[in-house]
Structure 1
Amino acid sequence: MNDKTAGVTGFGYGDGEQPLFRVQPGQDAKLAMEQASAIMTCVKRMTLLAATDGEANLGWGAHLLSDMAKAVMDDVEVGRGRDS
């Protein structure tokens, strides 16, 4: 089993099918998952603040960061040979 990112998953889609950003190949899977977890911790806090303080911009920021974290997690799974 490969424990590296595959580098095939993109995020940050705009007007087309091409992603604005892409997970880099060959990164350590454990480190990548730790980064995704850290991002999701920020997302959790941002969504709470968006809901309780009416900060709509925090909601959009959380949405974009969650897309990034999902791409990292999906890419690790592809690298491990378990397409998600």
Structure 2
Amino acid sequence: MSPSPLMPTVGGATFGKCNAQDQRLFSVNAGVSSLEALEHASLLMNCINTLSFMGAVDDGNQATAMRWASHYLSEMAKALIDDVTLGLQHAGEGDL
């Protein structure tokens, strides 16, 4: 089976670690087109690149906020990419 660019996300990826047990607070919703998920991940990565650059050249208090924002946005982008990858693996195994 060849995966379609419209193959949906599977909803298996999580992000936003919290508490001592590293419980995840958020997850990717199942059923979103993988193409749209990857487009959103690309937009998040653009924001991350901008914020991380600005945080690297700024010596003020805003640099810390930009670095943390980059960190949290990168978790979101990674979860989207991980979920699309899970979908591709399932499609390759014939599960979809």
- Normalised to the residue count of structure 2, the TM-score between the two structures is 0.80
Partner of 1:25: 30
CA-based RMSD: 1.3
- Deviation, structure 1 residue 22: 0.3
Bigger radius of gyration: 2
Q: Which runs of 4+ in 1 moved over 4 A?
A: none
SS in 2 for 1:81: helix
**Among 54, 78, 83, which residue is 2:86 paired with?**
78
| Contact residue 14 and residue 20 of structure 1 kept, 8 A | yes
Aligned residues with identical type, % of pairs: 35
Matches within 5 A, 1:42-81: 42-54=47-59, 55-81=63-89
Q: Deviations over 1:18-77 (max 9, x none)?
A: 311000001000010000000000000000010101311100000010011000000011
- Kindly provide the amino acid, as one letter, of the partner of residue 9 in structure 1: A
1:6 equivalent to 2:10? Answer yes
Comparing 28-37 with 17-26, which one deviates more in the overlay? 17-26
- Normalised to the residue count of structure 1, the TM-score between the two structures is 0.91
Long gaps (5+) in structure 2: 91-96
| Contact residue 4 and residue 80 of structure 1 kept, 8 A | no
- Deviation, structure 1 residue 79: 1.1
Q: How many residues align?
A: 82
